[in-house]
Amino acid sequence: MTPLVREIFGVSFANPVLLAAGTCGFGRELSEVLDLDVLGGFVTKSVTLEPRWGNPAPRVSEFPGGMLNSIGLANPGVEVVRKEKLPWIRERVRRAKVFVSVAGHSPEEFEEIVLRLDGEAGFVGYELNLSCPNDARRSSLPFALDPEALVEVLGRVRERTDRPLVAKLAPNTPDFPRMAGLAHQSGADGITVVNTIPGYLSRPEGGASALGAGSGGVSGPLLRPVGVHAVRSVVASVPLPVVGVGGVSRPEHVLEYLAAGASLVQVGTATFADPRAALRVIRGLDRIGGLPERDVPTAVFPEVAMNQEKGVDG
Ligand code: RRO
């Protein structure tokens, strides 16, 4: 067994458990019920260039397999994050490591958001949200399903920061090795898998959508096998740390993701049902007495070598 502490991206995490983007805002509200410093870290709500109100209510709906959401990227915009949210984090968060989730409508917007935030203290790196299923303003594919767009986002942002860049991919990516390989070649330091699965729920009486926006993203228990599968696939194809997310609500789930090769694991939807879910998970890992030994994969695997030979567009 090894202790819970993880050294990933040149950063020391007290444990491998982070809160997933969109499940803890910018930390402040949750800090009233959970000591954020028990966490390995957290990822902020995705930040856009302009403030966004988000989608019409209802924004979430439950079903037996989990939850469907279409929040619609509601966030105060990069300037409020810079002037209000990050100062709060700087003052109040001591040990937990914070990643800012960035979501643009174009590669230029990703670049601009990073430019505006990079001079600020209080966070260690960026999780690039390339996979939001609920972004009405981007009419074509999410970045994570569009190889050229993914390469352009990574390339532009890489020029603007030396901080760790973690690319968050979509669960409906038809080819994880290819997209993870492109992210790696374009400067990503890590890969997060997975975001929510596009889905639709009707109201019990039938017909109309259960959500104000129509379709949404599915998360919760049914996402766990999807996330673990994605972690295995990415770990086997790129020599980067992989962050696993999807359906984690118990310490055993963290161990399952770590056994699949994840370096860090995020708790997402479970926090909505119980704001202290991540604390229970970390206490459970403590009771187990640490984490099983596992080598972090460092080899360059054949799929990556193939992508490199073919060039970034594969
Ligand atoms: O805000 C959302 O509706 C949302 C985002 Br940005 C995302 O990345 N994933 C998700 O399920 N919802």
How far CA 287 is from CA of 46, 116, 208, 259, in Å, comes to 33, 42, 47, 18
> What are 67's strand-pairing partners?
62, 219
Does position 37 have pLDDT exceeding 70, yes or no?
yes
Q: Say how far residue 96 (Cα) sits from the centre of its chain.
A: 16
Question: Pocket residues for ligand 1 (CB within 6 Å)?
Answer: 22, 46, 69-73, 103, 129, 132-134, 195-196, 217
Q: Tell how far the Cα of 27 is from the centroid of ligand 1, in angstroms.
A: 17
Q: How far is the CA of 308 from the centre of ligand 1 (A)?
A: 31
Q: Does the residue 147 lie in any domain?
A: yes
Of the pLDDT bands very low, low, confident and very high (cuts 50, 70, 90), residue 61 is very high
Is 60 a domain residue?
A: no
Element (H, E) at 243: strand 242-245
Residue 65 lies in a domain: no
Residue with the smallest CA separation from ligand 1 atom 6 is: 73
Separation between Cα atoms, residue 238 and residue 215, nearest integer Å: 32
**Quick one: pLDDT at residue 302?**
36
The maximal CA–CA distance of the chain, rounded, in angstroms, is: 54
Among the options 132, 150, 193, 277, which is catalytic?
A: 132
Residue 312 has pLDDT above 60, yes or no: no
Quote the pTM value: 0.92
What's the whole-number mean pLDDT along residues 28-56? 97
Which atom belonging to ligand 1 lies closest to the Cα atom of 72? 3
In this predicted structure, what is the pLDDT of residue 314? 28
Minimum CA distance residue for ligand 1 atom 5: 132
Half-sphere exposure in the Cβ direction for 127 (13 Å, CA): 32
**Within-domain flag for 15:** yes
Q: For ligand 1, what atom is nearest to the CA of residue 129?
A: 8
Looking at the chain, the whole-number percentage of residues with pLDDT higher than 70 is 90
- Asked, for residue 57, whether it belongs to a domain, the answer is no
Distance 23 CA to ligand 1 centre (A): 10
Domain-embedded: residue 178: yes
200 versus 297: the higher-pLDDT residue is: 200
Higher pLDDT, 309 or 214: 214
Say how many residues make up the chain: 314
- Split at pLDDT 50, 70, 90, the class of 45 is very high
Please state the atom number of ligand 1 nearest to the C-alpha of residue 74.
1
Predicted local confidence at residue 307, as pLDDT: 37
Residue 207, pLDDT > 90, answer no
Question: What distance in angstroms lies between residue 103's CA and the mean position of ligand 1's atoms?
Answer: 10
Neighbouring-strand partners of residue 39: none
pLDDT tens per residue, range 74-120: 999 999 999 999 999 999 999 999 999 999 999 999 999 999 999 99
Range of the domain at 229: 6-51+72-208+219-310
Phi-psi region for residue 241, left (φ > 0), alpha (ψ -120 to 50) or beta? beta
The closest-lying atom of ligand 1 relative to the alpha carbon of residue 131 is 8
Distance (Å, rounded) from C-alpha 85 to C-alpha 174?
36
Question: How far is 122 from 97, CA to CA, in rounded Å?
Answer: 9
CATH code, 299: 3.20.20.70
Strands 216-219 and 66-69: antiparallel
To the query of whether residue 132 is one of the catalytic residues in this protein, the response is yes
Residue 59 covered by a domain: no
What integer is the mean pLDDT of 9-31?
97
State the pLDDT confidence band at 311, using cuts at 50, 70 and 90.
very low
Report which secondary-structure segment, H or E, holds 126.
strand 125-129
What are the pLDDT digits (tens) for 169-198?
A: 999 999 999 999 999 999 999 999 999 999
Q: How far is the CA of 301 from the centre of ligand 1 (A)?
A: 31
Nearest CA to ligand 1 atom 8: 132
Residues 137-179 have pLDDT tens digits of 556 789 999 999 999 999 999 999 999 999 999 999 999 999 9
Give residue-wise pLDDT tens across range 221-236.
Answer: 999 999 999 999 999 9
pLDDT at 50 over 60: yes
Q: What is the dihedral of CA 133, 167, 73, 76, to 10 degrees?
A: 180
Phi, psi of 214 (to 5 degrees): 100, -105
Residue 294: predicted pLDDT: 56
> What's the mean pLDDT when you consider all of the chain?
91
22 located within any domain? yes
Q: What is the count of structural domains for the chain?
A: 1
pLDDT of residue 136: 60
- If we measure between CA atoms, which residue out of 165, 164, 182 comes closest to residue 173? 182
Residue 165 is inside which H or E element, if any?
strand 165-168
